[in-house]
Structure 1
C-alpha cells in the first residue's frame, strides 16, 4: 500500500499513467476501509484527468505553495538550522537499512521517498518513521482536504495504515505534539502559520549531524 501511495504522491508523468490500471487492480484487492477508499479517490481522479492538467495542479499544490508541504520535517522544524540534523538522521536510517534509496533529487524527508523506504527497504522502521511524523501527515491531510480532495485521499490512506484513529480536526493534531514554534527560524517569521507548534515532535532519538551525510 505504501508503494502505491508513493507513486500517487510523486510528480505525475507517463509512468504513473501507465501504472494506473495496475494500481487500480491492486487497490481493489485491499480490504474495504479508509485505505482503499482514499487511494481509489485519487486513482479515479487521475484516470479522468489529462496528464498536463495533473502536472499543472501538482506544481501549484506542492511546488508553489508550502501549505501542503510533503516534507515531513518542514512541519516540525520549519526553515530552521536544526532541520539539517533531522535530514541527516533520515539519511542515516536509510543507510542503516542496507537499501540504496534513490532520492530523485529530493530531500530525504519527502513523503513519497519515505513511503518507498517503508515499502521496499524496512517496513517496520518505515512505519515507525511515519508514526513519528504522524502530526505532519495529518496536517498535510487537512490542508489537502481544503485544496485537493483527491490527494487528501492518498494521505487518508497512509494514515489509515498507522495505529490509532486520525484526529478529527487541526486542534486535535496540535494536541498530539508539544506546543511552541521552532527556534532559530531562517526565512520565515515565527508567527507564520506554516511554522506550526510541533517543535521536537518526531525527532526523538536522532543523532547529531557530523557533516558526513
Structure 2
C-alpha cells in the first residue's frame, strides 16, 4: 500500500482555512505568511499564485460562482450528507457540541454555519486537531465530493480544474484514504447529488460566506 508523506497537519489546515475563505484584501495581504507556513506544500502553490496575481473583484466573482452557486461545490460539510432536509439541523448541532467539548463556543453573530469547512479547519489548526479530524472523517465522502467537483471544474477559457482544487487536495492528503462504503457514498453523490427536501428548512440553507469565528469561553 502506498504510504502517504508526513505533513504538518495543523499548518496545512491553517493555511487552507484562509485560502478557502472568501477573498478579501486582508486575505491577499496575508499570502506571504500563508506561503511561509506551508513552504514546499505543492498542492497549494498554484492557488497562492492565482490569488496573488488576479484582481480582487475578479477573485470574488470567481469564488461566488464556484462555491455559492454550485451545489456540488458547497463548503458546508453536512450539506453533502443531508442536503436541504430536516436531518441537517441535528447534524449542525453535533458540530457545535464538538466545539463546546473542546472548550470553545460557536459565535452565532457571524451568521455562518458551524459545518463550514474553513471553520472546521480553523478549529483543528488552533484548538483541537483530533476532534476536527473526527468531524472531517465523519464527512469524508462530502470532502471527497468537493475535491472531485473542483478538480473537474470547467473554466471560462475551456481548461479544467478550479484554482481552489489544490486546497482540497491538501486537505484530503491529511485524511485517511476512502474506505469502500465511503467510495460508494461518493459515487452516489456524483450520480444523484445531495438529498433535497422542500419544506421546514428555514435557517439551514447556504449562507453568504463570511470569516468563521470561534470565541473562547470565559
For normalisation by structure 1, the TM-score amounts to 0.75
Residue pair 2:79, 2:194 contacting (<8 A) in 1 also: no
What is the aligned partner in structure 2 of residue 186 from structure 1? Answer: 197
Residues paired across the two proteins, number = 178
Match of 2:42 among 34, 37, 49: 37
What is the aligned partner in structure 1 of residue 37 from structure 2? Answer: 26
In 2: Cα distance, 1:18 partner to 1:154 partner: 18
CA RMSD, Structure 1 to Structure 2 (Å):
2.8
In 2: Cα distance, 1:54 partner to 1:183 partner: 27
In 1: Cα distance, 2:184 partner to 2:21 partner: 30
Residue pair 1:6, 1:112 contacting (<8 A) in 2 also: yes
Note the alpha carbon deviations across 1:11-70, whole angstroms, 9 max, x for none: 010111111111112221x5xxxxx11111211111111111110101111112212011
What is the aligned partner in structure 2 of residue 10 from structure 1? Answer: 21
Change (3 A) 1:155 1:178: closer
Residue pair 1:138, 1:173 contacting (<8 A) in 2 also: no
Q: Name stretches of at least 5 consecutive residues in structure 1 with no aligned partner.
A: 31-35, 189-213
In 1: Cα distance, 2:33 partner to 2:120 partner: 22
Q: Which runs of 4 or more aligned residues in structure 1 lie more than 6 Å from their structure 2 counterparts after TM superposition?
A: 177-184
In 2: Cα distance, 1:53 partner to 1:5 partner: 20
Residue pair 2:84, 2:196 contacting (<8 A) in 1 also: yes
Change (3 A) 1:111 1:57: same
Structure 2 counterpart SS, 1:17:
helix
